[in-house]
Every structure is written in C-alpha cells, then in structure tokens.
Amino acid sequence: MNQIINPLAAHIQTVKRRVIIMGATIFVTLIFTFSFSAEMVAWLNRPFPNQLVFYGPTEALFASIKVSFLAAVIISLPVIFYQCWKSVEPALLPKEKRWAIPLFFLAGGLFALGLVFCNLVILPLVIDLFVSFGLDRDITPQLSVGTYIDFNVKFLLIFGCAFELPLVMTLLAMAGVASAQVFARYRKHAILLCLIVSAIVTPDATLFTMLLMAVPMMLLYEVGILGARLFGRGQDNSPMDLPLDPDLPMGTAGTRMR
C-alpha cells in the first residue's frame, strides 16, 4: 500500500510546488508591471473617446492593480506553460515529449491570438455599441475607471484562456485522459458552461455580450474536438506491450503488474 500511496503523495506535492512557483512568478511580475499601470490604462482607454473618471478613493488603485495583473500574467506565460507541461509530462510517451518546444510556442501564440482578437474585434465592437446607444438618446457617457478596466481585463483574460482550450483538449487526448468521443458526448454540457461563464464574467450580462463571448468559446471547443480526434491516442483496449519480469507479482485480473 505504501508503494502506491507514496508516489501519489509525491506527485501531489510536486503539483503544489509548481502552483506555488506560478503564483510567486505572477506576484513578483505584478510588482514590476504596477509601475507602468498608468500607461496601460491609457492604452486600454483608446476605444472610448472620453476621459475615464473614478467615484471612490480606492477605485483608481484597484483598476491599476487589475490591469497590472493582466500584464503580469502575460509576461509570466513562459513560466506558467513550462510548469503546466512538467505536470503533464509524466503521463506522456517518449515520442510525445518531443512536442514540448512546439507546444510552448503554440500555447503562447494561441493566448496572444486571443488577446489580439478580443482587443481588436470584440472590445471595440462592444464599447462602441453601448456608447452609441447612450449617445443616440442624448446621454453623455461618463465611465468609471474601475468598471471600464474590469470590463476590459475580464474579456481579455477569458479570451486569452479560451483560445488555449483546443490545445488543452488535444493534450488530454494525447495523454489518454479523455478522447474526442468523450468531448463530443459532453458537447451540450460545454455549451451550457460557456453560457454560464459568459453570464458571470460580462458585467452587464446582456444577451449580446454573452453571445460575443460564448460563441467563440463554443467554436474553440469544436476545434478542440477536432484536435483530439487527429492527435489523440487510439481507443485500443488491447494489453500494453510491456517487458515481463518473472519476479513481478501477478495482478488480480491475471496480468502482470508493472
């Protein structure tokens, strides 16, 4: 029993250590990026023509922390991807481990693509729509910096992470944890989850903004199913071709335990 528990406990400790490393990296980077928070707030303010305001003494501070956190996550991506890879690596075959470096670049590229798509397409469309709606009714827009930055950071992070979904699903299929058939079977659950996440994340939770976030996530889930089907392990239930050692005990099912 100890021979089974000890490797499991060691794996859990390793995962905890990697999570702590990722958290510490983001925290240290956050301290650095906070000094550039004013420039980042001004950069995010480009789609909105008016000056942002704040209504509470701490609102501007927390808005700066949020935008600094977003920058810290982006800068820390190499460390985050490396730690995630090392957590998945023991479950992969030697030929699959050669994909490490391409996967690093692919993961970074997908996250960046999600940020670019959100910043250039989704956010300007949403902001222009709602601001124009108020202007058409002779209402002067006056957005608080806290609400505006919260809106932008949530959208950017969600889209950046959502664009990683096909890669995560493909890796799970390569590791044998799940298959394209399993992902397809739970497609309805995934669609419902996309709608729930969109309703929680979007500040106004209108149908338009929910669909702007949920529909790309649903499409990315379908891309993930395709990736799992192309690169996942085959559903071969035949015994693994392992070298047999006569000194190893026999399992209860009549096969040798590795």
Residue 32 above 70 pLDDT?
A: yes
Report the pLDDT averaged over residues 45-51. Answer: 80
Residues 152, 203: contact at Cβ < 8 Å? Answer: no
Cα–chain center distance at 28 = 20
The percent of residues in the chain predicted with pLDDT above 90, rounded, is: 24
Q: How far apart are CA 245 and CA 241, in angstroms?
A: 13
Beta bridge partners of 144: 53
pLDDT of 57-93, one tens digit each?
888 999 999 999 999 988 998 898 888 878 777 776 7
Taking the domains of the chain in order of start, what are their residue ranges?
A: 7-163, 168-233
Taking the CA of residue 107 as centre, how many other CA atoms within 13 Å lie in the half-sphere pointing to its CB?
Answer: 23
pTM of the predicted model as reported, rounded to 2 decimal places: 0.71
pLDDT of 1-24, one tens digit each?
444 457 767 778 888 899 999 999
